[in-house]
Every structure is written in structure tokens, then in C-alpha cells.
């Protein structure tokens, strides 16, 4: 049953990703990206990463996508204009895609060592407690450096956004 659910969510992610690229309207593309993020969160949840699944939904599918939709609506852009394609691009595009996928497939099978298959639910380190312990012990310095960089970025954004008073 786990493999079936994984395949269903993987198929949803791939279809939404293809729809994201194919769409000409930016709002429809943003909604397709939300579908990708939600299906990835379901896959993370199935693999035992409860914290990363919740972070995926809250941070990416929630906050970042709201920001994307807000910016798209603020810019008030319509549909994209179709660009003229050259004839050779139309003819050679699909065969070159198949060659590229076959090359990547060959490289993965030959270069990467074989690995064990995934056992669903076997990973237990994805809860908030385990991540918090690792974050505040082994990775404390990178965590603090990142927080200082984010603080500098916030101050920089405030300085750049402030209107000059004459």
C-alpha cells in the first residue's frame, strides 16, 4: 500500500510540474507549484519525515506561494505572449529530450553505486525533537550564522525600501 501511495503522489507531483511549465497564465502556474509542494509533503510524511513535511506545507506551500501570488497579482500581468519558434527547435526538441533522458539514465545506472531500497516508515529521525537536538548541538554555528545573515538582509531591505526625506 505504501508503494501505491508513493506512486500516486509522485504522479501528482510530475503532472503538476508539467502543468507548471506548460501554463501561460502565471496564477495557474503558481497553483500548479502548490500542487507539487503538497504532493512532496505527502511523500515526506510517508517516508517518516513529519517535521520536513509540515515545514514543506507551512513554509513553501503556504508562505512562499502566498508571496508569489501576491507579487503576480501586484504586477497585474496577463497571459504570456507566444514567441515564434524556429523550425529546427520544433523538429529537434523531442528527440534531443529523449537522448538527454537516456544519457542521464545511463549515467545513473553506471556511475552511482547500487543502494538499498527504501523501507517506508523505517526512518524515525524526522520528528521535531530529533531535528531540534541536531540543530542546537552539532549545527549550532551554521544556524546562528544563518540567523545573522537573515537579520542583515531584513535590515538591508528596510534601508532600501525606506523613502528618502528631503
Q: What are the tens digits of pLDDT across the range 3-19?
A: 889 999 999 999 999 99
- Residue 143 and residue 100 share a domain: no
- Indicate whether 120 and 131 sit together in one domain: no
Q: Which of 22, 29, 42, 114 is nearest to 72 (CA)?
A: 29
Full DSSP string of 89-133: HHHHHHHHHHHHHHHHHHHHHHHSPP-PPP-TT-----SHHHHHH
94 and 162 share one domain: no
157 and 96, same structural domain?
no
Domains: count for the chain = 2
Assign residue 61 the CATH number of its domain. Answer: 1.20.120.1200
Q: What is the mean pLDDT of each run of 10 residues along the chain (166 residues)?
A: 89 94 84 91 87 86 79 68 75 88 89 76 75 88 89 84 61
Co-location of 59 and 80 in the same domain: yes
60 and 137 Cβ atoms separated by less than 8 Å: no
Domain ranges, residue 135: 127-166
- Are 91 and 75 members of one domain? yes
**pTM of the predicted protein model:** 0.60
Same domain, 12 and 38: yes
Amino acid at each position: 500500500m505504501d508503494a501505491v501511495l508513493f506512486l500516486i503522489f509522485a504522479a501528482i507531483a510530475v503532472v503538476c510540474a508539467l502543468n507548471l511549465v506548460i501554463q501561460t497564465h502565471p496564477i495557474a502556474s503558481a497553483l500548479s507549484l502548490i500542487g507539487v509542494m503538497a504532493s512532496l509533503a505527502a511523500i515526506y510524511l510517508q517516508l517518516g519525515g513529519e517535521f520536513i513535511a509540515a515545514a514543506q506545507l507551512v513554509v513553501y506551500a503556504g508562505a512562499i506561494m502566498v508571496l508569489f501570488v501576491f507579487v503576480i497579482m501586484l504586477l497585474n500581468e496577463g497571459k504570456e505572449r507566444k514567441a515564434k519558434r524556429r523550425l529546427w527547435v520544433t523538429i529537434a526538441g523531442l528527440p534531443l529530450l529523449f537522448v538527454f533522458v537516456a544519457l542521464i539514465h545511463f549515467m545513473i545506472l553506471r556511475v552511482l553505486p547500487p543502494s538499498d531500497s527504501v523501507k517506508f516508515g523505517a526512518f524515525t529521525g524526522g520528528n521535531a525533537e530529533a531535528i531540534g537536538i541536531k540543530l542546537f548541538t552539532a549545527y549550532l554555528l551554521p544556524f546562528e550564522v544563518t540567523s545573522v545573515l537573515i537579520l542583515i538582509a531584513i535590515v538591508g531591505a528596510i534601508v532600501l525600501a525606506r523613502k528618502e526625506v528631503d
